[in-house]
Structure 1
C-alpha cells in the first residue's frame, strides 16, 4: 500500500482551512497549526463572489454557504448626501457571472470549513515556524513547541505578516501601507431597512450591508497617516467622520458601542513575489499576495489558491504558474480602485461622480465589466464531492 502524503498547514484562517479540506479530498494526510487559542476569527463579514463560490463547490461547501449567506441584492453606489451614483442588480450579476455575490460572517465560513476536518487534524494554540523548506530529496520541517514535524508539503497561510514568506524570500520588502485605514462593525440595528450600498466621499468611504441573520455589516475607510488612532474611541471617530452622512449611517453609528468597532490599517504587497513556492513550501492568501479590500477579493483569492494548490499537489511550480499572474493582476486592479474611491481632490471627485452617474444611466451593466476575468473564473477541477455547481438566481428577497 502506498504511503499517504503528509501536508502541514500553518494558519487556520479561511485560506488555510480551505487548503486543508481540499488537500484531504485529494488524499493528503493534513495537520493544521493555528497560533490563536481557537479558530474563532477576529474580524467581521466577508463577501464571496462567484469565483470563490465555484472553488468552494469543489470541496462541497459552496451550496451550504449560499444557503447561510445573504445574497447581495439591489443596491449601489451613493454620495454622502444619499444621491445614487449607480445601481446594482443581483439578477444581472448572477446572469453575467454564473452566480451571486453573497455576504456572511467570517465565523460562519470558518465553522463550515472546520466541520469538514477531523478534530485531531486541527491544533490551536501552536506557534509553528518553518525550520527547513525541504527539496526534492528531503521533506520540509516545521518546528512546534511539541517537537518537529516533517511534511511532503507545507502550506503557509500565515497572513500578511507571514513569517514563512520572510524565510523563503528574505530580501523581499514585504507589505507596505496602502494609505488608508478601515473600521468594521457587525451589529443588530433595530428597525433598519435599507438597500446595500457603498458611499464615496472625499478620501472616505462607507458601506452598509444587511446579513441574513438580521445583523448589519458596516465598514468604513479613510485616508489617514499610518498607525493613527482616535484620541477617545473609534466609534467617536466614526461619528466625527460619517455622522452627517445619509441614512442608515447615523442609525448604525447610534447602535454601535465603542467595543463593537474594529480598526486596522490596510497594507498590501506592492512588489509581487518571484514565486509562490520554494522547496516543498507553498504560500497562499495574504502571505502570497495581500491586496487592498477595494475589490472584496482578498479572501476570494485565498480560496482560489487553496483549491488550485490541491489540484497541483506536489507540483508547486505548476501552482505558482497558475496563481502568480492572476493574483498579481487582481491585486493591481484593487490598488487602482483604491485610488479612485479614495480621491481627495474636489475637482477630481466631481468629475468621477459625474462620470459614474452618466455611465450608470447610459449602460447600467457596464460596471460589471470591472469583474470580468475575476468573478467568472473557474477552478481547474470539477466539483469532486457535490458533483454539481448550482447556477441559481436570487428569489424575491435577494436571498437564497
Structure 2
C-alpha cells in the first residue's frame, strides 16, 4: 500500500487524511500538539468545501442556522449600508471549528494512524520517498503545518514568510441566538455576527493596532459595546474572547508541490479571514490532491497537476481577501464615505441586473 505522512492535524490536514485513505493510501498524521483537536470559534463552510466534505462522507453539516432577521453591512449606529440579498451573496453554513474537526475525524478508518506530540524538525526527499526527522519514511508528504510551516521553510528558505496585515482579530461564542447578522464597519474596526448550526452566536471583530499588543474580552467591550443592537447583548452573553494578530502570505505564493511533498492549507496560502475562505480552501485543496493522486501515474505528476490547479485559485483568494481587509480597516473619514457610497451603488446595480434577469 502507498504511504503518506500528513504533517499537521488542523482542518486541512485531517480532511487530507480522510480523502487519501479513501483512495487507497496508508496515512500517518503527525501533530505537534499533545492531543488531537481544534481550538477557535466559528468557521464558514462554503458550498465548494461542503461538496468536498459530502463526497468524503462527512455528516452533520446542514443549513439549519439561517438568521431570521436581516443580514448585511451596517454602520456602528445601525444604519444599513447594503444588504446581503441586494448583492446576491450566498451565505455559508456556520459551525464551530471544533465541531467541524470532530465530524471530519469521525471518518478516520483503520488506514489512518495519528501521532500526537510529534514536532517535525527536518524533511528530506529522494526519488523514492520522503524522510521526516531522519526517522519516518513515506512515499509522499502533505505539509498542512500552518502559517509558520516548517516544511515550507525547508523547501523555500528564500521566501519571506508571513506578513502582518496591520490589524488584530477577536473571536467569541455567545450563548444567545442572534436574529440579525452580517458585519458592521466603523473607522479602523469591524464587528461581525453569524449563527452557528448549534444555535449559539459566533462573533468576530477586527481593529487596527501594532502586532503583539494583545487584547481580551474587556477590550472588545470597550471598543464595540456601544455599537448597535444586538452587539451589546451578544458581548454580555460571551464568557471569553480569543485574540490573534492577522497574517497572510506574500504574493507570489511558492509552488504547492516540490517533488513528493505537497503544501496544503495555510502552509501553502495563508490568507486573511475577510472572506471566510481559509479553511474551506484547505478542504478544497485536500479534495483536489486526492483526485490528482487517483488519476496520475505517479505522485510527482499528481502533485504537479495539483499545484497547477490550486495555486492560481488560492492566489486570487489571498489577493481579494487582503483587498477587502484594506477597505474594511480604512480610518480616513473621506475614504470611508467614498467606500460606502460605492458599495451602496454596487448593490443598486446588482438589484437592477437581477430584475432584468427575472424579466428576461
1:80 paired residue number: 76
Structure 1: gaps (5+ residues): 95-99, 368-400
Shift of 1:279: 2.2
Structure 2: gaps (5+ residues): 294-298, 355-360
1:256 paired residue number: 238
Cα RMSD (Å): 2.2
Shift of 1:124: 4.3
d(CA) in 2 for partners of 1:340, 1:169:
31
1:23 paired residue number: 20
Q: Which has the higher contact order (CA 8 A, sep 6+)?
A: 1
d(CA) in 1 for partners of 2:87, 2:341:
26
> How do 1:132-171 residues align onto structure 2 when only pairs under 5 Å count?
132-135=123-126, 137-143=127-133, 148-171=135-158
1:115 paired residue number: 106
SS in 1 for 2:227: coil
Shift of 1:168: 0.8
Answer yes or no: is 1:56 the counterpart of 2:53: yes
Instruction: Show CA shifts across 1:309-331 (max 9, x none).
Output: 11122121111111111111111
Cα contact 1:35–1:127 (8 A) shared by 2:
yes
d(CA) in 2 for partners of 1:91, 1:20:
37
Shift of 1:40: 2.2
d(CA) in 2 for partners of 1:168, 1:286:
15
Cα contact 2:5–2:28 (8 A) shared by 1:
yes
Answer yes or no: is 1:266 the counterpart of 2:246: yes
d(CA) in 2 for partners of 1:162, 1:322:
21
Instruction: Show CA shifts across 1:91-129 (max 9, x none).
Output: 9555xxxxx511000111111110111378342433232
Shift of 1:366: 7.4
SS in 2 for 1:123: strand
d(CA) in 2 for partners of 1:242, 1:178:
21
Cα contact 1:130–1:167 (8 A) shared by 2:
no
Cα contact 2:67–2:178 (8 A) shared by 1:
no
Cα contact 2:141–2:260 (8 A) shared by 1:
yes
d(CA) in 1 for partners of 2:67, 2:179:
12
Shift of 1:235: 1.4
Shift of 1:42: 1.4
Shift of 1:24: 0.8
Q: 2:285 aligns with which of 282, 302, 305?
A: 305
Cα contact 1:133–1:278 (8 A) shared by 2:
no
d(CA) in 2 for partners of 1:26, 1:90:
42
d(CA) in 1 for partners of 2:149, 2:352:
39
Q: 1:323 aligns with which of 310, 320, 327?
A: 310
Instruction: Show CA shifts across 1:253-310 (max 9, x none).
Output: 22223xx100000010013333112121111000001010011111111011111111
> How do 1:1-400 residues align onto structure 2 when only pairs under 5 Å count?
4-61=1-58, 64-66=60-62, 70-71=65-66, 74-89=70-85, 93=89, 101-118=92-109, 121-129=112-120, 131-135=122-126, 137-143=127-133, 148-189=135-176, 192-230=177-215, 234-257=216-239, 260-313=240-293, 314=299, 315-364=302-351
Cα contact 1:128–1:142 (8 A) shared by 2:
no
